[in-house]
Structure 1
Amino acid sequence: MPTICIVEDEPKLAALLTDYLKAAGYDTFTIGDGNAAVPAIRERQPDLVVLDLMLPGRDGLDICRELRQQGTLPIVMLTARVEEIDRLLGLELGADDYICKPFSPREVVARIKAVLRRAGNAPAANATQTGALRIDGGAHRAWLDGHELELTPVEFRLLRTLAGAPGQIFSRDQLLDHLYDDHRVVTDRTVDSHVKNLRRKLEAVREGDTIRSIYGVGYRLDL
């Protein structure tokens, strides 16, 4: 039974999510204070974290940043702040999904199922080599020229998609089909933001146009 950690300081909302998740077959535990989140998550090792953005003591973005530095634990962020910059910032820090309040608890359960399905579907032995780029899908790790890349989960899926067909141009819609399987509505700006961050990390290891923008068409990997 997968265990879900709910980091939410609103008791009624945390209880509501707990009820829906337990009804869907998940074990849960809740944390109501930002300062207690990381130590509790380290101790109890949940399969996924539902993380509110606004928390007492320590905000969700800071917690997300620290958790992402330690590994690839799936994270679904919750927030009442709907500005696009916050949405992009949350995803760039490594959140696997981002849900704005108010929301349907059923929607949250569906999103959690989708994130867990993506996290668990990678075969144990699916390492691939594309030139000097090596990707281990089971471990969610990638190396370029022998240097390990520090990628968010979305950046990793983006790189694996592009590396699956080097030189092929992928449209933004095609990339979204590989990055998200829950049919969410996101803007072109979201895709461009992920590409920009991934390109920056690749070019920190190797100079030059690692991901080329093809005007009016999409992106391709040139390594």
Structure 2
Amino acid sequence: MTKILMVDDEEVILEVLEAYFEKEGWNIISASNGIDALKRAKEHNPDMIILDLMLPDISGEEVCRLIRKESDIPIIMLTAKSAEEDLINGIVIGADDYVTKPFSPREVVVRVKALLRRTKKPTNHLAFNDRILIIDALKREVLLNGQTLALTPIEYKLLFTMASFPGRVYSRTDLLEKVQDDGVYFEGYERSIDTHIKNLRKKIEDDSRHPEYILTVFGMGYKFGGKPDAPNITF
């Protein structure tokens, strides 16, 4: 059963969303502050977190940052802030989506379903665009039109990270942390990721100036644009 952790200090919002989510058959875990949210995230390992930015103890942004140090769990932020800069900042620190208050509970349900589809656990083999691009996670091998690509460890990790969750936006900080978590360290700032992305595009794209797979999300970072084959399963 899908487990969703809802974090909000407004009891009415928790009750309304809980009623809608239970109709979908989802198991609901609730928290009214940031400390409890972090504790319950570790205890219950939910499939998704609905996180309010305005909490009574620590901010939702800080909760998001702390969770991102430990997990890739999908996060939808609830925010009363609608300024573009605030919303971009939410994505940059690790949120996958956001909903501005006031909102329709049905909208939240739709967004949760969409994000759950996008963030399914990756399989050992990923195939895209009618098997034009294939990633074999067991062999750490990438095939393009049947030909093996000579990727560096960093390029492979960047590609696999983004391709595992197509459509998800990764900031440069996110990608840098993924590379470092793999035991590969390199000097430089977050912008060093741009150089690796540029080199990866030269190897994977027909036209690196008009990429099909590694897409730039201006002001935010990068995302994977390949179309997953359905079903995208082990073969």
Q: What is the TM-score when the length of structure 1 is the normalising length? A: 0.67
- Unaligned segments of structure 1, at least 5 residues: 150-154, 180-189, 199-223
Percent identity over the alignment? 34
Task: Kindly provide the CA deviation profile for residues 78-113 of structure 1, in whole angstroms up to 9, marking residues without a partner as x.
Answer: 001111111011100110101101111011011011
Aligned residues: 173
Partner in structure 1 of residue 110 of structure 2: 110
Amino acid at match of 1:120: K
Structure 1 segments (4+ residues) deviating >4 Å: 137-146, 161-164
Partner Cα distance (2:73, 2:3) in 1: 12
Partner in structure 1 of residue 217 of structure 2: 191
Partner Cα distance (1:66, 1:78) in 2: 17
Partner in structure 2 of residue 134 of structure 1: 156
- Given candidates 209, 212, 217, the residue that maps to 1:169 is 209
Change (3 A) 1:165 1:12: same
Amino acid at match of 2:184: H
Q: CA RMSD in A?
A: 3.2
Partner in structure 1 of residue 129 of structure 2: none
Partner in structure 2 of residue 217 of structure 1: none
Partner Cα distance (2:210, 2:48) in 1: 30
Partner in structure 1 of residue 9 of structure 2: 9
Following superposition, the deviation at residue 146 of structure 1 comes to: 6.9
- Given candidates 140, 144, 147, the residue that maps to 2:184 is 147
Partner Cα distance (1:112, 1:59) in 2: 22
For the residue of structure 1 that corresponds to 2:119, the secondary structure is helix
Partner Cα distance (2:185, 2:91) in 1: 21
For the residue of structure 2 that corresponds to 1:147, the secondary structure is coil
- Unaligned segments of structure 2, at least 5 residues: 127-136, 143-148, 166-174, 187-192, 223-235
Larger CA deviation: 55-64 vs 162-171: 162-171
Following superposition, the deviation at residue 167 of structure 1 comes to: 4.5
Change (3 A) 1:29 1:121: closer
Partner in structure 1 of residue 98 of structure 2: 98
8 Å Cα contact 1:134-1:143 kept in structure 2: no
Change (3 A) 1:164 1:28: farther
Partner in structure 2 of residue 65 of structure 1: 65
8 Å Cα contact 1:21-1:109 kept in structure 2: yes
Partner Cα distance (1:47, 1:13) in 2: 20
Change (3 A) 1:148 1:103: farther
Partner in structure 2 of residue 202 of structure 1: none
Rg comparison, structure with higher value: 2
Task: Kindly provide the CA deviation profile for residues 43-97 of structure 1, in whole angstroms up to 9, marking residues without a partner as x.
Answer: 1111000000000101100000000111201100000111111101110011010
